[in-house]
Amino acid sequence: MRILSWHVHSSWTTGFVQGSHEYLIPVAPNGDGELKPYWPASTVAVPEAQLADTAVDVVVLQSFAELEKTERLLGRRLGSDVPALFVEHNTPKGDVPLTRHPLADRRDIPIVHVTHFNRLMWDNGDAPTTVIEHGVPDPGALYTGELPRLGYVINEPVRRWRVTGTDLLPQFAEAAPIDAWGIAADSLPDALGLEPGRVEFAGNLAPDELYTELARRRAYLHPIRWTSLGLSLIEAMHLGMPVLALATTEAYRAVPPEAGAISMDVDELVTMARRLIADPDEARERGAAARRFALEHYGLPRFLERWDEELARVAR
């Protein structure tokens, strides 16, 4: 199939475009939407001005603003002239669980939630819904854990603060130094005001470099209060890292206890952080359990198979 999908979430799209279809990525005149160099040859950049003359079998939307824009550029109505799906990446905001989804009153564009928590918490109205859980390309068992430090990957941790659990970092920094990666994570050390070296920005790295560096840290920290399910958590588990996660939103389903620690008691997580820092062998064992679970539940083959089923269903 020829699938039109905007470049919104690079990590999710990297997994999605590994399938057996042709993936058309609209590119704006200013270059927004350009392809990533590590995407396969089946991804094709299509200038927005050419979309009206482009054959499309299915449209995969990832934000509500794309709906009107896509119909205008294609010159076709989504859900009737062209089959379409809406991928809901985000947890609802506002009056949860009463937040109504923007497509709740439409039955012609099914909503694909990336977690069961999302489908449960959104008011989906009459819209058809399904869940296709995340799948990521396997970066390999790169874990060494040689550095007695915690790794933390998050975008905009200062602006999002309590949402991303940034306010909890000082407690974890007492157990071990923390290295942070992510958009605008460079402002994190100054914002926290801790003594030098307790929380450090580790740089902006390409995915392969990030995986290698992250895997050198003893454990992965996931202190996020409100999120769909961070792909960096799943990627860290694929690397073979033990993880420390708040038991919020979908995380309880993604992290088995043997993979590290999952709890809503921050003190329990800090205690496990100290334990893993002190015992590299236990950290390695728990990381191996994390990798086994991630490969089984969030591996790319399962993800792509589910998407093939849903795309074929909607295209019919």
CATH number at residue 89: 3.40.50.2000
**Domain match, 289 and 154 both:** yes
**Domain match, 306 and 255 both:** no
Model pTM score: 0.93
Q: Is position 142 within any domain? A: no
Q: Is position 140 within any domain? A: no
Give me the pLDDT at residue 153, please: 95
Give me the pLDDT at residue 75, please: 95
**Domain match, 111 and 181 both:** no
In the chain, the amino acid numbered 123 is D
**Domain match, 238 and 186 both:** yes
**Domain match, 243 and 309 both:** no
**Domain match, 232 and 308 both:** no
Per the structure, the count of domains in the chain is: 2
225-277: pLDDT as tens digits: 999 998 999 999 999 999 999 999 999 999 999 999 999 999 999 999 999 99
Strands laid side by side in the 84-88 sheet? 43-47, 22-27, 2-5, 58-61, 84-88, 111-113, 129-131
**Domain match, 265 and 280 both:** yes
- Please give the residue range of the domain that contains residue 217: 147-298
Q: Which residues are within 8 A (CB) of 138 and not within 5 positions of it... i.e. 6 or more apart?
A: 238, 295, 299, 300
**Domain match, 45 and 114 both:** yes
Consecutive 10-residue runs of the chain (316 residues): their mean pLDDT? 91 94 93 88 95 96 93 95 96 91 95 97 96 95 98 94 96 97 94 94 92 98 94 97 97 96 98 98 98 97 96 93
Q: Is position 285 within any domain? A: yes
Q: Is position 141 within any domain? A: no
In the chain, the amino acid numbered 46 is V
**Domain match, 185 and 288 both:** yes
Q: Is position 277 within any domain? A: yes
Q: Is position 18 within any domain? A: yes
Residue 50: how many CB atoms within 10 A of its CB?
Answer: 12
